[in-house]
Structure 1
Amino acid sequence: MESDPLKFRLPTDLWESVPFLARLWLTVPTRIRLSAYRLIWWLADKIHPRTRTTRVHRILPGIYLKYGFIRSSEPHAMILLRRHTKLHSSITLDYVIHTEHETGSTSTPFTRTFLLMTAAQGQSLMAVEDQLTPEQITTIGLDLRDYLVEMHKIPNPYKYGLCSSDGGELDAPRFTGGNYDIQPCEDIRSFHAWLYRCMRRHWPTMQPRVQPIFDKYDEQCTIFSHGDLSSDNIMVHNGRLSGLIDWETSGWMPPYWDYLCTRWENSEVCKTVVRLAIPEHSDRERYEMSVAAGISRGHSPKMFPSFEGSNIL
């Protein structure tokens, strides 16, 4: 296996947030750091075998190494969070992209990444939800409301109004099924125009369902959104919200985005928390935009009942 490492460096004004030893480590040439990560990953796999979906190993107390296809939106989001807010999350320490291909192979090279980061405090909501009291659940929801209000204020430094946290394509599996990323758009109206094109064949059926939503948000500004609120990405410590993790889907999106993209299907606690956190939510908007997302993935409107006939509450 051959590899070609690419560099990623933290903006200078954020180095003061990185532990001193980490700053020393980042002065080491990229190829040496990459070799070290590959050795550490191999050893960690031998000591603690991963499941098919696990991409993270704890390699030191409070330090995690993540490996795989990791979009640069994740370290950029953590950087933006530390630059513009006091909100808690993991801290990016290093991000090494490398292109791999089999030795002697003529197949297309593939990109893999090592992301070194600090641990977020606490445990996931999924891990502790059965131990929480109703009062604690309410507190976590209100904590998350404050967290999102501050997070939404992170300014967009890029030329596109609707884009990922690194200014590029957006990972939006609810709309794409994970098969491709959404291209950056000038604004919310442009995003709705893209969605219209995806639904064009079914527009006579979908227009009365989604046009009022388009009209409501077309002229509004995008806000910084997490894009994947769920019981495994919401962190809890001592019955309080301690932060959010997994920022690959983050970016500047329509105001309805975080409520629309929440994954709560298997967690009533998560559903309660998010509804408390986003009090202005509309279940009808969420449902109709979810239908639009399903059609953008190639499904027929016939698969989806009307909002009144659905069972989403």
Structure 2
Amino acid sequence: MTEKSTAASDGAISSNHAQDLAINNTRFYRLFTRIALKTWGRLYKADGFCSPISRRMIVKTGPSVDLTEAATMKFISENTSIPVPKVHCSFIHKGRTYILMERIRGEEIPRAWKRLGEEGRAKMFAHLKQMIEEMRALKPPSGTGVRSCVGGSLYDSRFNRQENRFGPFTTIQEFHFWLRKEFRLADYPNPEKPSEEVRPELMHMETMQDGPWPSPVFTHADLNPCNILVRGDKIVAIIDWEFAGWYPHYWEYTSNWFGNRVRTEWQDALVQFLEPCTAAEFEMEKTRNKWWGEF
């Protein structure tokens, strides 16, 4: 996929640029998708923003759905062997995004967990690890900071922020500064606020965040077990790519660890398919989540 430049300094995608991201944006597909959603779609039960319209197709639409997600699935399908839903079309109609894509039949991991057993889960995790390693081997374009696969803004519903989308960021350090809401310990000389007890952990976090970082890696950022579909002990799809983009190398692990606090068994399983971050990186993110956390 060719790289596209962002059209505004704040990272928002202009309407012209957004239309550039549309896939198979023809009158036929636009009409077909909207009519199918209002007719056949009523025969199926919707799952969040996703509404099946047949056994083989599903439409994703909603206030936070963005063309970037469709572009990301296309990017992954063209550059890796990771199974993702095929995007038939994506477009914007009256300010609302529609993504018509393949409906892949499979079980979410929580439903398949007991059936798989230890041996089946081991095969599944080995398969998933190969996919993640392939994704992390993708090379970012020169000068890439934290941004989407098309160079634009990102989305994460777990962030407790007013803005719907954020970024892109020129550097990882700039992303970190945004994450901590532009906090600098030097701006608070009064040792009582923050207190002397918490200053060391804040200083450790800030020093690490502002230090040197290797190039970002492509990251799904929401590998919770419901976003991984299996058939037998084989993974047939990784879905819900709306959070994905180029992020610091630790982000896949920490975003999934902190994002699955109620799924402790899944937290323990992360090391079977993700490279853990260092203890220092984990403490850095633990501190950030404590003071500016989204989870």
The alpha carbon displacement at 1:214 in A equals 2.5
Distance 1:268 1:208, change over 3 A: same
Which consecutive unaligned segments of at least 5 residues does structure 2 have?
1-17, 189-193
Aligned pairs for 1:123-142 within 5 A: 123-142=107-126
The equivalent residue for 2:274 is: 278
Deviating more after overlay: 186-195 vs 276-285: 276-285
CA distance in structure 2 between the partners assigned to 1:283 and 1:127 by the alignment: 32
Distance 1:66 1:197, change over 3 A: closer
Write the letter of the residue equivalent to 2:115: Q
Distance 1:178 1:42, change over 3 A: farther
Query: Does residue 295 of structure 1 match 2:291?
Result: yes
Contact 2:45 2:52 in 1 (8 A): no
TM-score w.r.t. length of structure 1: 0.72
Q: Deviations over 1:142-161 (max 9, x none)?
A: 22211111011223348642
Contact 2:144 2:171 in 1 (8 A): yes
Contact 1:174 1:294 in 2 (8 A): no
Write the letter of the residue equivalent to 1:182: F
The equivalent residue for 2:34 is: 38
Contact 1:75 1:95 in 2 (8 A): yes
Distance 1:73 1:141, change over 3 A: same
TM-score w.r.t. length of structure 2: 0.76
Write the letter of the residue equivalent to 1:115: I
The equivalent residue for 2:76 is: 81
CA distance in structure 2 between the partners assigned to 1:268 and 1:252 by the alignment: 26
Q: Deviations over 1:110-150 (max 9, x none)?
A: x3111111133522112212322112222222222111110
Contact 2:250 2:276 in 1 (8 A): no
Write the letter of the residue equivalent to 2:148: S
| Structure 2 counterpart of 1:229, from 223, 231, 242 | 223
| Structure 1 counterpart of 2:239, from 234, 245, 249 | 245
Matched residue pairs, number?
A: 264
Please state whether the residue corresponding to 2:183 is helix, strand or coil: helix
Please state whether the residue corresponding to 2:39 is helix, strand or coil: helix
The equivalent residue for 2:50 is: 56
Please state whether the residue corresponding to 2:53 is helix, strand or coil: strand
Please state whether the residue corresponding to 2:222 is helix, strand or coil: coil
Please state whether the residue corresponding to 2:124 is helix, strand or coil: helix
CA distance in structure 2 between the partners assigned to 1:92 and 1:156 by the alignment: 23
Query: Does residue 185 of structure 1 match 2:169?
Result: yes
Distance 1:67 1:254, change over 3 A: same
Contact 1:81 1:154 in 2 (8 A): no
Runs of 4+ aligned residues of structure 1 deviating over 6 Å after TM superposition are none
| Structure 2 counterpart of 1:258, from 240, 252, 255 | 252
The alpha carbon displacement at 1:259 in A equals 0.8
The equivalent residue for 1:267 is: 263
CA distance in structure 2 between the partners assigned to 1:298 and 1:276 by the alignment: 25
CA distance in structure 1 between the partners assigned to 2:142 and 2:33 by the alignment: 32
The equivalent residue for 1:115 is: 99
CA RMSD of aligned residues (A): 3.0
The alpha carbon displacement at 1:212 in A equals 5.7
Write the letter of the residue equivalent to 2:110: M
CA distance in structure 1 between the partners assigned to 2:246 and 2:99 by the alignment: 22
Please state whether the residue corresponding to 1:171 is helix, strand or coil: coil
Query: Does residue 162 of structure 1 match 2:156?
Result: no
Distance 1:179 1:136, change over 3 A: farther
Please state whether the residue corresponding to 1:221 is helix, strand or coil: coil
The alpha carbon displacement at 1:292 in A equals 0.9
